[in-house]
Structure 1
Amino acid sequence: CPSSGKPCSCGEHKVHNCESSFGAATIGEHKPVSYSEIDGSLYNEKELIFPPELALRNDLPLKLHGYGGIRWYRPLKLSALLDLKSLYPNAKLVAGNTEVGIEMNFKNAQYPILISVTHVHELNVLNIKENGLEIGSSVRLSKLQHILLKVITERDIHETSSCRAISEQLKWFAGKQVKNVASVGGNICTASPISDLNPLWMAARAEFQIVDSKGHIRTVRAKDFFLGYRKVDLAQGEMLLSIFIPWSRHFEFVKEFKQSHRREDD
Protein backbone atom coordinates (compact mmCIF):
# COMPACT_ATOMS: atom_id res chain seq x y z
CA CYS A 1 0.00 0.00 0.00
CA PRO A 2 1.56 3.35 -1.00
CA SER A 3 0.14 5.02 2.11
CA SER A 4 0.96 2.53 4.86
CA GLY A 5 3.87 0.65 3.32
CA LYS A 6 2.28 -2.68 4.23
CA PRO A 7 1.47 -5.53 1.83
CA CYS A 8 -1.70 -4.76 -0.09
CA SER A 9 -4.41 -7.41 -0.44
CA CYS A 10 -6.94 -5.34 -2.37
CA GLY A 11 -6.38 -7.30 -5.57
CA GLU A 12 -7.40 -5.55 -8.77
CA HIS A 13 -10.23 -3.47 -7.25
CA LYS A 14 -10.00 0.19 -8.14
CA VAL A 15 -9.49 2.65 -5.35
CA HIS A 16 -10.82 6.20 -5.61
CA ASN A 17 -8.54 8.86 -4.27
CA CYS A 18 -9.45 12.48 -3.70
CA GLU A 19 -6.60 14.94 -3.87
CA SER A 20 -6.58 18.69 -3.65
CA SER A 21 -4.63 20.67 -6.23
CA PHE A 22 -4.47 24.46 -6.10
CA GLY A 23 -7.67 24.56 -4.04
CA ALA A 24 -9.69 22.44 -6.47
CA ALA A 25 -10.65 18.86 -5.67
CA THR A 26 -9.92 16.31 -8.35
CA ILE A 27 -10.89 12.66 -8.35
CA GLY A 28 -8.52 10.09 -9.76
CA GLU A 29 -8.29 6.33 -9.90
CA HIS A 30 -5.35 4.02 -9.34
CA LYS A 31 -4.86 0.31 -8.93
CA PRO A 32 -3.45 -0.97 -5.62
CA VAL A 33 0.14 -2.09 -5.81
CA SER A 34 0.95 -5.44 -4.27
CA TYR A 35 4.03 -6.09 -2.15
CA SER A 36 5.88 -7.90 -4.94
CA GLU A 37 5.20 -5.15 -7.46
CA ILE A 38 6.60 -2.23 -5.49
CA ASP A 39 8.27 0.27 -7.76
CA GLY A 40 9.64 3.54 -6.48
CA SER A 41 8.66 5.32 -9.70
CA LEU A 42 4.99 4.85 -8.78
CA TYR A 43 5.39 7.03 -5.68
CA ASN A 44 6.48 10.29 -7.31
CA GLU A 45 3.53 12.15 -5.83
CA LYS A 46 3.49 10.28 -2.53
CA GLU A 47 5.33 10.85 0.72
CA LEU A 48 8.39 8.62 1.03
CA ILE A 49 7.77 5.50 3.10
CA PHE A 50 10.03 3.04 4.88
CA PRO A 51 10.71 0.15 2.47
CA PRO A 52 8.19 -2.61 3.31
CA GLU A 53 10.63 -5.33 2.30
CA LEU A 54 12.95 -4.18 5.10
CA ALA A 55 10.17 -3.99 7.69
CA LEU A 56 9.08 -7.55 6.86
CA ARG A 57 12.55 -9.01 6.54
CA ASN A 58 13.46 -11.78 8.96
CA ASP A 59 16.57 -11.35 11.10
CA LEU A 60 19.51 -13.42 9.94
CA PRO A 61 22.86 -14.22 11.53
CA LEU A 62 25.56 -12.25 9.77
CA LYS A 63 29.28 -12.60 9.15
CA LEU A 64 30.99 -9.69 7.43
CA HIS A 65 34.59 -8.95 6.50
CA GLY A 66 36.01 -5.45 6.66
CA TYR A 67 39.13 -3.50 5.83
CA GLY A 68 42.35 -4.75 7.36
CA GLY A 69 41.01 -8.21 8.13
CA ILE A 70 38.31 -7.05 10.54
CA ARG A 71 35.52 -9.58 10.99
CA TRP A 72 32.05 -8.69 12.26
CA TYR A 73 29.54 -11.26 13.52
CA ARG A 74 25.88 -10.92 14.48
CA PRO A 75 24.50 -14.08 16.14
CA LEU A 76 20.83 -14.50 16.99
CA LYS A 77 21.05 -17.06 19.80
CA LEU A 78 22.97 -17.12 23.06
CA SER A 79 24.44 -20.52 22.19
CA ALA A 80 25.89 -19.10 18.96
CA LEU A 81 27.26 -16.10 20.84
CA LEU A 82 28.92 -18.35 23.41
CA ASP A 83 30.46 -20.45 20.62
CA LEU A 84 31.92 -17.31 19.05
CA LYS A 85 33.19 -16.11 22.41
CA SER A 86 34.83 -19.49 22.97
CA LEU A 87 36.43 -19.35 19.53
CA TYR A 88 37.49 -15.70 19.91
CA PRO A 89 37.92 -15.02 23.66
CA ASN A 90 39.38 -11.56 22.99
CA ALA A 91 36.58 -10.48 20.65
CA LYS A 92 34.94 -7.15 21.42
CA LEU A 93 31.21 -7.26 22.08
CA VAL A 94 29.26 -4.41 20.51
CA ALA A 95 25.73 -3.26 21.29
CA GLY A 96 25.05 0.42 20.64
CA ASN A 97 28.66 1.20 19.63
CA THR A 98 28.47 4.43 21.63
CA GLU A 99 31.71 3.52 23.45
CA VAL A 100 33.53 1.13 21.10
CA GLY A 101 33.18 3.56 18.20
CA ILE A 102 34.85 6.31 20.23
CA GLU A 103 37.68 3.98 21.24
CA MET A 104 38.35 3.00 17.63
CA ASN A 105 38.01 6.48 16.13
CA PHE A 106 39.71 8.63 18.76
CA LYS A 107 41.84 6.25 20.84
CA ASN A 108 43.08 4.16 17.91
CA ALA A 109 41.89 0.95 19.57
CA GLN A 110 42.20 -2.14 17.38
CA TYR A 111 39.50 -4.82 17.50
CA PRO A 112 39.99 -7.38 14.70
CA ILE A 113 36.95 -9.40 15.84
CA LEU A 114 33.67 -7.61 16.61
CA ILE A 115 30.53 -9.43 17.76
CA SER A 116 27.22 -7.61 17.73
CA VAL A 117 24.89 -8.73 20.55
CA THR A 118 21.92 -6.58 19.55
CA HIS A 119 19.83 -9.43 18.13
CA VAL A 120 20.49 -12.14 20.72
CA HIS A 121 17.04 -12.94 22.12
CA GLU A 122 18.24 -14.06 25.56
CA LEU A 123 20.01 -10.72 26.07
CA ASN A 124 16.90 -8.69 25.25
CA VAL A 125 14.55 -10.10 27.88
CA LEU A 126 12.48 -7.87 30.15
CA ASN A 127 10.65 -9.85 32.82
CA ILE A 128 8.54 -8.42 35.62
CA LYS A 129 8.76 -10.99 38.42
CA GLU A 130 7.22 -11.27 41.85
CA ASN A 131 10.45 -10.28 43.57
CA GLY A 132 11.89 -7.81 41.07
CA LEU A 133 12.69 -6.83 37.50
CA GLU A 134 14.98 -8.83 35.18
CA ILE A 135 16.70 -6.82 32.43
CA GLY A 136 18.71 -8.36 29.59
CA SER A 137 22.11 -6.80 29.05
CA SER A 138 21.31 -5.80 25.44
CA VAL A 139 18.08 -3.98 26.33
CA ARG A 140 18.10 -0.42 25.00
CA LEU A 141 18.01 2.40 27.53
CA SER A 142 14.88 3.82 25.89
CA LYS A 143 13.15 0.44 26.24
CA LEU A 144 14.23 0.23 29.88
CA GLN A 145 12.78 3.68 30.45
CA HIS A 146 9.45 2.52 29.01
CA ILE A 147 9.22 -0.62 31.16
CA LEU A 148 10.15 1.32 34.29
CA LEU A 149 7.22 3.68 33.74
CA LYS A 150 4.95 0.65 33.39
CA VAL A 151 6.29 -0.87 36.61
CA ILE A 152 5.95 2.40 38.52
CA THR A 153 2.32 2.65 37.45
CA GLU A 154 1.33 -0.93 38.26
CA ARG A 155 3.31 -1.82 41.40
CA ASP A 156 2.88 -0.57 44.97
CA ILE A 157 4.71 2.68 45.54
CA HIS A 158 6.98 1.29 48.27
CA GLU A 159 8.28 -1.37 45.85
CA THR A 160 9.37 1.03 43.12
CA SER A 161 11.68 3.48 44.88
CA SER A 162 14.70 2.15 42.95
CA CYS A 163 12.77 2.08 39.67
CA ARG A 164 11.66 5.68 40.10
CA ALA A 165 15.23 6.80 40.79
CA ILE A 166 16.57 5.02 37.68
CA SER A 167 13.70 6.35 35.57
CA GLU A 168 14.36 9.92 36.68
CA GLN A 169 18.08 9.57 36.00
CA LEU A 170 17.40 8.27 32.49
CA LYS A 171 15.61 11.52 31.66
CA TRP A 172 18.98 13.29 31.66
CA PHE A 173 20.98 10.40 30.26
CA ALA A 174 22.24 11.61 26.86
CA GLY A 175 19.84 12.36 24.00
CA LYS A 176 16.97 10.24 22.77
CA GLN A 177 18.86 9.05 19.70
CA VAL A 178 21.66 7.74 21.94
CA LYS A 179 19.25 6.01 24.32
CA ASN A 180 17.64 4.30 21.33
CA VAL A 181 20.87 2.39 20.61
CA ALA A 182 22.86 2.37 23.88
CA SER A 183 22.39 -0.79 25.94
CA VAL A 184 22.12 -1.34 29.67
CA GLY A 185 24.93 -3.89 29.72
CA GLY A 186 27.26 -1.78 27.62
CA ASN A 187 26.94 1.12 30.02
CA ILE A 188 27.63 -1.16 32.98
CA CYS A 189 30.64 -2.99 31.53
CA THR A 190 32.27 0.23 30.32
CA ALA A 191 32.55 1.10 34.03
CA SER A 192 32.86 4.80 33.33
CA PRO A 193 33.67 6.78 36.49
CA ILE A 194 31.06 9.37 35.46
CA SER A 195 28.30 6.83 34.77
CA ASP A 196 24.83 8.07 35.68
CA LEU A 197 23.44 4.58 36.32
CA ASN A 198 26.15 2.48 37.95
CA PRO A 199 25.85 4.15 41.38
CA LEU A 200 22.10 3.49 41.24
CA TRP A 201 22.58 -0.21 40.50
CA MET A 202 24.63 -0.45 43.67
CA ALA A 203 22.15 1.56 45.74
CA ALA A 204 19.27 -0.55 44.41
CA ARG A 205 20.95 -3.82 45.54
CA ALA A 206 21.05 -5.01 41.92
CA GLU A 207 22.59 -8.35 41.00
CA PHE A 208 24.37 -9.16 37.74
CA GLN A 209 24.17 -12.54 36.01
CA ILE A 210 27.50 -13.45 34.39
CA VAL A 211 27.82 -16.24 31.82
CA ASP A 212 31.02 -17.79 30.47
CA SER A 213 31.71 -19.40 27.10
CA LYS A 214 30.70 -22.83 28.47
CA GLY A 215 27.29 -21.58 29.61
CA HIS A 216 28.06 -21.52 33.33
CA ILE A 217 26.25 -18.69 35.13
CA ARG A 218 27.30 -16.94 38.30
CA THR A 219 25.76 -14.04 40.20
CA VAL A 220 27.64 -11.02 41.52
CA ARG A 221 26.26 -8.05 43.43
CA ALA A 222 26.56 -4.69 41.71
CA LYS A 223 28.58 -3.24 44.57
CA ASP A 224 31.19 -6.00 44.10
CA PHE A 225 31.23 -5.91 40.29
CA PHE A 226 33.18 -2.66 39.87
CA LEU A 227 36.81 -3.25 40.84
CA GLY A 228 38.37 0.09 39.90
CA TYR A 229 38.75 2.64 37.14
CA ARG A 230 37.13 0.94 34.11
CA LYS A 231 37.74 -2.46 35.71
CA VAL A 232 34.95 -4.97 36.30
CA ASP A 233 34.62 -8.51 37.61
CA LEU A 234 34.59 -10.21 34.21
CA ALA A 235 37.10 -12.92 33.40
CA GLN A 236 38.24 -13.66 29.86
CA GLY A 237 35.42 -15.36 27.99
CA GLU A 238 32.72 -14.05 30.34
CA MET A 239 29.95 -11.60 29.52
CA LEU A 240 27.09 -9.87 31.28
CA LEU A 241 23.87 -11.81 30.75
CA SER A 242 21.26 -9.85 32.70
CA ILE A 243 20.58 -7.45 35.56
CA PHE A 244 18.13 -8.12 38.36
CA ILE A 245 16.65 -5.30 40.45
CA PRO A 246 14.75 -6.43 43.57
CA TRP A 247 11.70 -4.45 44.59
CA SER A 248 12.41 -1.85 47.25
CA ARG A 249 11.51 -2.80 50.80
CA HIS A 250 9.32 -0.91 53.26
CA PHE A 251 11.07 2.22 54.55
CA GLU A 252 13.81 1.81 51.92
CA PHE A 253 14.30 4.89 49.77
CA VAL A 254 16.54 5.41 46.73
CA LYS A 255 16.97 8.90 45.29
CA GLU A 256 18.95 9.99 42.23
CA PHE A 257 21.05 13.14 42.00
CA LYS A 258 23.11 14.45 39.09
CA GLN A 259 25.49 17.38 39.20
CA SER A 260 26.91 18.75 35.97
CA HIS A 261 27.48 21.97 34.05
CA ARG A 262 24.66 20.98 31.72
CA ARG A 263 21.62 19.17 32.99
CA GLU A 264 20.94 17.40 29.70
CA ASP A 265 23.19 15.38 27.36
CA ASP A 266 26.12 15.45 29.75
Structure 2
Amino acid sequence: AFRVFAKTDNSVYTNSYSTNGEFICPSSGKPCSCREGKVHKSECLECSAGSATCGEHRPISYNEIDGSLYKEKELIFPPELVLKNNLPLKLHGFGGISWYRPLNLKHLLNLKSLYPAAKLVVGNTEIGIEINFKSAQYPILISVSHVPELNVLSIKENGLEIGSSVRLSRLQEALQEVIAEREIHETSSCRAISDQLIWFAGKQVKNVACVGGNICTASPISDLNPLWMAARADFHIVNTKGSIRTVHAKNFFLGYRKVDLAQDEILHSIFLPWSRHFEFVKEFKQSHRREDDIALVNAGMRVYLKE
Protein backbone atom coordinates (compact mmCIF):
# COMPACT_ATOMS: atom_id res chain seq x y z
CA ALA A 1 0.00 0.00 0.00
CA PHE A 2 2.87 2.36 0.76
CA ARG A 3 4.43 1.83 -2.66
CA VAL A 4 1.10 2.38 -4.43
CA PHE A 5 0.48 5.77 -2.86
CA ALA A 6 4.10 6.92 -2.64
CA LYS A 7 5.04 10.06 -4.54
CA THR A 8 7.49 9.88 -7.40
CA ASP A 9 9.78 12.31 -5.57
CA ASN A 10 11.59 10.06 -3.12
CA SER A 11 13.33 12.98 -1.43
CA VAL A 12 10.18 13.65 0.56
CA TYR A 13 10.67 10.28 2.22
CA THR A 14 14.43 9.77 2.13
CA ASN A 15 16.01 13.14 2.89
CA SER A 16 14.17 14.11 6.03
CA TYR A 17 14.39 11.00 8.17
CA SER A 18 17.94 11.25 9.46
CA THR A 19 18.53 11.52 13.20
CA ASN A 20 22.01 11.52 14.76
CA GLY A 21 23.51 10.15 11.58
CA GLU A 22 21.09 7.22 11.40
CA PHE A 23 18.67 6.83 8.52
CA ILE A 24 15.06 6.12 9.50
CA CYS A 25 13.24 3.82 7.09
CA PRO A 26 10.02 5.53 5.89
CA SER A 27 8.32 2.14 5.63
CA SER A 28 9.11 0.67 9.03
CA GLY A 29 9.92 3.82 11.00
CA LYS A 30 13.06 2.14 12.37
CA PRO A 31 16.77 2.91 11.87
CA CYS A 32 18.25 0.97 8.96
CA SER A 33 20.95 1.21 6.29
CA CYS A 34 18.75 0.64 3.25
CA ARG A 35 19.45 4.14 1.95
CA GLU A 36 23.10 3.35 1.44
CA GLY A 37 22.63 0.46 -0.93
CA LYS A 38 20.73 -2.73 -1.49
CA VAL A 39 18.62 -4.01 1.33
CA HIS A 40 19.52 -7.15 3.21
CA LYS A 41 16.80 -9.11 4.93
CA SER A 42 18.70 -9.00 8.17
CA GLU A 43 18.77 -5.20 8.08
CA CYS A 44 15.28 -4.21 6.96
CA LEU A 45 12.72 -6.89 6.25
CA GLU A 46 9.94 -4.37 5.65
CA CYS A 47 11.89 -2.48 2.99
CA SER A 48 12.88 -5.59 1.05
CA ALA A 49 9.31 -6.75 0.50
CA GLY A 50 8.38 -6.87 -3.15
CA SER A 51 12.03 -6.98 -4.33
CA ALA A 52 12.33 -3.19 -4.18
CA THR A 53 14.73 -1.22 -2.07
CA CYS A 54 13.49 1.34 0.42
CA GLY A 55 14.90 4.18 -1.66
CA GLU A 56 13.16 3.00 -4.84
CA HIS A 57 9.46 3.60 -4.24
CA ARG A 58 7.80 3.29 -7.63
CA PRO A 59 4.31 4.61 -8.42
CA ILE A 60 1.89 1.91 -9.54
CA SER A 61 -0.93 2.74 -11.93
CA TYR A 62 -3.39 0.66 -13.89
CA ASN A 63 -4.90 0.65 -17.35
CA GLU A 64 -8.31 2.31 -17.56
CA ILE A 65 -9.75 -0.61 -19.54
CA ASP A 66 -8.39 -3.93 -18.29
CA GLY A 67 -6.55 -3.02 -15.09
CA SER A 68 -3.10 -3.96 -16.40
CA LEU A 69 -0.03 -2.20 -15.05
CA TYR A 70 0.87 1.24 -16.36
CA LYS A 71 4.32 2.73 -15.98
CA GLU A 72 3.73 6.42 -16.66
CA LYS A 73 0.25 7.24 -15.37
CA GLU A 74 -0.91 7.85 -11.83
CA LEU A 75 -3.94 6.13 -10.34
CA ILE A 76 -7.07 6.92 -12.35
CA PHE A 77 -10.70 7.54 -11.48
CA PRO A 78 -12.64 4.24 -11.60
CA PRO A 79 -13.79 3.84 -15.24
CA GLU A 80 -16.90 1.97 -14.13
CA LEU A 81 -18.17 5.17 -12.53
CA VAL A 82 -17.26 7.29 -15.57
CA LEU A 83 -19.07 4.97 -17.99
CA LYS A 84 -22.06 4.32 -15.76
CA ASN A 85 -25.33 5.33 -17.43
CA ASN A 86 -27.58 7.78 -15.63
CA LEU A 87 -30.93 6.45 -14.52
CA PRO A 88 -34.17 8.25 -13.64
CA LEU A 89 -34.52 8.32 -9.88
CA LYS A 90 -37.36 8.42 -7.40
CA LEU A 91 -36.37 8.75 -3.76
CA HIS A 92 -38.44 9.15 -0.61
CA GLY A 93 -37.28 11.09 2.43
CA PHE A 94 -38.47 12.00 5.90
CA GLY A 95 -41.80 13.73 6.29
CA GLY A 96 -43.22 12.36 3.05
CA ILE A 97 -40.79 14.21 0.78
CA SER A 98 -40.36 12.72 -2.70
CA TRP A 99 -37.41 13.53 -4.95
CA TYR A 100 -37.42 12.82 -8.69
CA ARG A 101 -34.69 13.02 -11.32
CA PRO A 102 -36.01 12.82 -14.91
CA LEU A 103 -33.62 12.35 -17.81
CA ASN A 104 -35.54 14.07 -20.61
CA LEU A 105 -38.00 16.89 -21.14
CA LYS A 106 -40.97 14.59 -21.79
CA HIS A 107 -40.50 12.81 -18.47
CA LEU A 108 -40.13 16.17 -16.71
CA LEU A 109 -43.35 17.52 -18.21
CA ASN A 110 -45.19 14.34 -17.22
CA LEU A 111 -44.03 14.78 -13.63
CA LYS A 112 -45.04 18.44 -13.72
CA SER A 113 -48.53 17.49 -14.91
CA LEU A 114 -48.84 15.00 -12.04
CA TYR A 115 -47.42 17.41 -9.45
CA PRO A 116 -48.16 21.01 -10.57
CA ALA A 117 -46.92 22.47 -7.28
CA ALA A 118 -43.60 20.60 -7.39
CA LYS A 119 -40.43 22.63 -6.99
CA LEU A 120 -37.74 22.30 -9.66
CA VAL A 121 -34.21 22.00 -8.29
CA VAL A 122 -30.72 22.18 -9.77
CA GLY A 123 -28.20 23.56 -7.28
CA ASN A 124 -30.57 23.87 -4.30
CA THR A 125 -28.95 27.21 -3.43
CA GLU A 126 -32.32 28.93 -2.90
CA ILE A 127 -34.70 26.13 -1.94
CA GLY A 128 -32.22 24.75 0.58
CA ILE A 129 -32.18 28.10 2.39
CA GLU A 130 -35.98 28.30 2.37
CA ILE A 131 -36.29 24.81 3.84
CA ASN A 132 -33.56 25.15 6.46
CA PHE A 133 -34.05 28.75 7.59
CA LYS A 134 -37.60 29.70 6.58
CA SER A 135 -39.29 26.38 7.46
CA ALA A 136 -40.71 26.06 3.94
CA GLN A 137 -42.33 22.74 3.07
CA TYR A 138 -41.89 21.27 -0.41
CA PRO A 139 -43.16 17.67 -0.45
CA ILE A 140 -42.29 17.14 -4.14
CA LEU A 141 -38.87 18.09 -5.52
CA ILE A 142 -37.84 17.49 -9.13
CA SER A 143 -34.16 17.72 -10.08
CA VAL A 144 -33.81 19.01 -13.65
CA SER A 145 -30.00 18.96 -13.75
CA HIS A 146 -29.90 15.90 -16.05
CA VAL A 147 -32.46 17.05 -18.64
CA PRO A 148 -30.40 17.62 -21.83
CA GLU A 149 -33.00 19.91 -23.43
CA LEU A 150 -32.55 22.34 -20.53
CA ASN A 151 -28.74 22.23 -20.66
CA VAL A 152 -28.37 23.59 -24.18
CA LEU A 153 -25.84 26.32 -24.90
CA SER A 154 -26.09 27.15 -28.58
CA ILE A 155 -24.70 30.01 -30.65
CA LYS A 156 -27.28 31.13 -33.19
CA GLU A 157 -26.99 33.56 -36.08
CA ASN A 158 -28.82 36.27 -34.18
CA GLY A 159 -27.98 35.45 -30.57
CA LEU A 160 -27.17 32.96 -27.84
CA GLU A 161 -29.61 30.29 -26.65
CA ILE A 162 -29.14 29.36 -22.99
CA GLY A 163 -30.92 26.40 -21.39
CA SER A 164 -32.54 27.14 -18.04
CA SER A 165 -30.49 24.42 -16.27
CA VAL A 166 -27.13 25.71 -17.50
CA ARG A 167 -24.79 26.32 -14.57
CA LEU A 168 -23.64 29.88 -14.04
CA SER A 169 -19.96 28.91 -14.26
CA ARG A 170 -20.59 27.22 -17.62
CA LEU A 171 -22.47 30.29 -18.85
CA GLN A 172 -19.55 32.48 -17.83
CA GLU A 173 -17.11 30.33 -19.80
CA ALA A 174 -19.37 30.35 -22.87
CA LEU A 175 -19.73 34.13 -22.74
CA GLN A 176 -15.97 34.57 -22.61
CA GLU A 177 -15.59 32.39 -25.70
CA VAL A 178 -18.26 34.36 -27.54
CA ILE A 179 -16.63 37.67 -26.60
CA ALA A 180 -13.30 36.47 -27.99
CA GLU A 181 -14.74 35.15 -31.26
CA ARG A 182 -17.45 37.59 -32.36
CA GLU A 183 -17.44 41.24 -33.42
CA ILE A 184 -17.09 43.64 -30.53
CA HIS A 185 -20.33 45.51 -31.28
CA GLU A 186 -22.30 42.23 -31.02
CA THR A 187 -21.10 41.30 -27.55
CA SER A 188 -21.89 44.34 -25.41
CA SER A 189 -24.62 42.40 -23.57
CA CYS A 190 -22.35 39.37 -23.22
CA ARG A 191 -19.59 41.47 -21.69
CA ALA A 192 -21.98 43.05 -19.20
CA ILE A 193 -23.33 39.67 -18.04
CA SER A 194 -19.86 38.15 -17.93
CA ASP A 195 -18.54 41.04 -15.85
CA GLN A 196 -21.50 40.78 -13.48
CA LEU A 197 -20.91 37.05 -13.02
CA ILE A 198 -17.43 37.80 -11.68
CA TRP A 199 -19.04 39.25 -8.55
CA PHE A 200 -21.95 36.81 -8.48
CA ALA A 201 -21.63 34.71 -5.30
CA GLY A 202 -18.64 32.36 -4.96
CA LYS A 203 -17.21 29.83 -7.37
CA GLN A 204 -18.74 26.90 -5.48
CA VAL A 205 -22.21 28.42 -5.81
CA LYS A 206 -21.76 29.22 -9.51
CA ASN A 207 -20.67 25.64 -10.14
CA VAL A 208 -24.07 24.31 -9.06
CA ALA A 209 -26.56 27.19 -9.39
CA CYS A 210 -28.38 27.49 -12.71
CA VAL A 211 -29.58 30.40 -14.83
CA GLY A 212 -33.26 29.49 -14.68
CA GLY A 213 -33.29 29.17 -10.91
CA ASN A 214 -31.93 32.68 -10.50
CA ILE A 215 -34.50 34.05 -12.95
CA CYS A 216 -37.58 32.30 -11.56
CA THR A 217 -36.72 33.13 -7.95
CA ALA A 218 -37.30 36.75 -9.03
CA SER A 219 -35.31 38.11 -6.13
CA PRO A 220 -35.20 41.92 -6.01
CA ILE A 221 -31.45 41.70 -5.40
CA SER A 222 -30.76 39.40 -8.35
CA ASP A 223 -27.56 40.43 -10.11
CA LEU A 224 -28.63 39.12 -13.52
CA ASN A 225 -32.34 39.86 -13.92
CA PRO A 226 -31.88 43.61 -14.56
CA LEU A 227 -29.38 42.70 -17.28
CA TRP A 228 -31.73 40.26 -19.00
CA MET A 229 -34.28 43.06 -19.23
CA ALA A 230 -31.77 45.65 -20.41
CA ALA A 231 -30.31 43.26 -23.00
CA ARG A 232 -33.73 42.59 -24.60
CA ALA A 233 -33.64 38.89 -23.70
CA ASP A 234 -36.57 36.58 -24.40
CA PHE A 235 -37.69 33.73 -22.15
CA HIS A 236 -39.07 30.56 -23.74
CA ILE A 237 -41.68 28.86 -21.57
CA VAL A 238 -43.07 25.37 -22.14
CA ASN A 239 -46.20 23.86 -20.59
CA THR A 240 -47.01 20.25 -19.79
CA LYS A 241 -48.59 19.78 -23.24
CA GLY A 242 -45.35 20.77 -24.95
CA SER A 243 -46.53 24.16 -26.20
CA ILE A 244 -43.90 26.91 -26.10
CA ARG A 245 -44.55 30.61 -25.70
CA THR A 246 -42.11 33.52 -25.63
CA VAL A 247 -42.12 36.32 -23.07
CA HIS A 248 -39.89 39.39 -23.10
CA ALA A 249 -37.74 39.56 -19.99
CA LYS A 250 -39.13 42.98 -19.08
CA ASN A 251 -42.67 41.51 -19.00
CA PHE A 252 -41.77 38.29 -17.16
CA PHE A 253 -41.33 39.83 -13.71
CA LEU A 254 -44.70 40.80 -12.24
CA GLY A 255 -43.67 41.86 -8.74
CA TYR A 256 -41.79 40.80 -5.64
CA ARG A 257 -40.87 37.15 -6.32
CA LYS A 258 -43.73 36.89 -8.82
CA VAL A 259 -43.24 35.85 -12.44
CA ASP A 260 -45.40 35.16 -15.48
CA LEU A 261 -45.26 31.39 -15.05
CA ALA A 262 -48.30 29.14 -14.54
CA GLN A 263 -48.18 26.01 -12.40
CA ASP A 264 -48.16 23.78 -15.47
CA GLU A 265 -45.26 25.70 -17.08
CA ILE A 266 -41.49 25.72 -16.74
CA LEU A 267 -38.78 28.02 -18.05
CA HIS A 268 -37.24 26.21 -21.00
CA SER A 269 -34.50 28.56 -22.21
CA ILE A 270 -33.29 32.14 -22.52
CA PHE A 271 -32.48 33.81 -25.81
CA LEU A 272 -29.90 36.60 -25.61
CA PRO A 273 -29.77 38.60 -28.87
CA TRP A 274 -26.54 40.11 -30.12
CA SER A 275 -26.13 43.80 -29.48
CA ARG A 276 -26.57 46.15 -32.43
CA HIS A 277 -24.28 48.83 -33.77
CA PHE A 278 -24.21 51.81 -31.39
CA GLU A 279 -25.95 49.79 -28.67
CA PHE A 280 -24.22 49.60 -25.31
CA VAL A 281 -25.16 47.52 -22.25
CA LYS A 282 -23.54 48.01 -18.87
CA GLU A 283 -23.89 46.32 -15.48
CA PHE A 284 -23.80 47.90 -12.01
CA LYS A 285 -23.64 46.39 -8.53
CA GLN A 286 -23.02 48.01 -5.17
CA SER A 287 -22.56 45.86 -2.07
CA HIS A 288 -20.85 45.98 1.32
CA ARG A 289 -18.01 43.78 0.06
CA ARG A 290 -16.58 43.69 -3.42
CA GLU A 291 -16.66 39.89 -3.67
CA ASP A 292 -19.16 37.22 -2.65
CA ASP A 293 -21.84 39.51 -1.25
CA ILE A 294 -25.46 40.31 -2.01
CA ALA A 295 -26.22 43.61 -3.68
CA LEU A 296 -27.44 46.74 -1.97
CA VAL A 297 -28.21 48.21 -5.38
CA ASN A 298 -27.83 46.68 -8.82
CA ALA A 299 -28.83 47.69 -12.30
CA GLY A 300 -28.67 46.86 -15.97
CA MET A 301 -28.41 49.79 -18.37
CA ARG A 302 -28.71 50.03 -22.14
CA VAL A 303 -28.12 52.93 -24.48
CA TYR A 304 -29.01 52.70 -28.17
CA LEU A 305 -27.93 55.53 -30.45
CA LYS A 306 -29.84 55.81 -33.69
CA GLU A 307 -28.20 57.27 -36.76
Shorter-chain TM-score tier: 0.7 to 0.9
Distance in structure 2 (CA, Å) of the matches to 1:91 and 1:235: 12
- The answer as to whether partners of 1:145 and 1:170 remain within 8 angstroms in 2 is yes
**1:63 maps to which residue?**
90
- The answer as to whether partners of 1:18 and 1:26 remain within 8 angstroms in 2 is no
The DSSP-based 3-state class of the residue aligned with 1:166 is helix
**2:225 maps to which residue?**
198
Count, aligned residues: 243
Gaps of 5+ in 2: 1-6, 16-34, 36-54, 69-73, 294-307
Change (3 A) 1:67 1:247: same
Gaps of 5+ in 1: 1-16, 39-46
The structure 1 segments of at least 4 consecutive aligned residues displaced by more than 6 Å after TM superposition are: none
The DSSP-based 3-state class of the residue aligned with 1:148 is helix
Distance in structure 2 (CA, Å) of the matches to 1:202 and 1:223: 5
Distance in structure 1 (CA, Å) of the matches to 2:59 and 2:183: 56
- TM-score of the superposed pair, with normalisation by structure 2: 0.74
The residue type equivalent to 1:26 in the other structure is E
Distance in structure 1 (CA, Å) of the matches to 2:8 and 2:286: 56
The residue type equivalent to 1:208 in the other structure is F
- The answer as to whether partners of 2:62 and 2:76 remain within 8 angstroms in 1 is no
Identity %: 75
Distance in structure 2 (CA, Å) of the matches to 1:35 and 1:166: 43
The residue type equivalent to 2:153 in the other structure is L
- The answer as to whether partners of 1:205 and 1:221 remain within 8 angstroms in 2 is yes
Matching of residue 109 in structure 1 with residue 140 in structure 2: no
- TM-score of the superposed pair, with normalisation by structure 1: 0.85
1:188 CA displacement: 0.1
1:263 paired residue among 255, 273, 290: 290
1:129 paired residue among 139, 153, 156: 156
- The answer as to whether partners of 1:137 and 1:185 remain within 8 angstroms in 2 is yes
The DSSP-based 3-state class of the residue aligned with 2:241 is coil
Change (3 A) 1:49 1:106: farther
2:14 paired residue among 8, 13, 22: 22
**What RMSD over aligned residues (CA atoms) do the two structures have, in Å?**
2.3
The residue type equivalent to 1:64 in the other structure is L
Change (3 A) 1:90 1:30: closer
Distance in structure 2 (CA, Å) of the matches to 1:105 and 1:29: 46
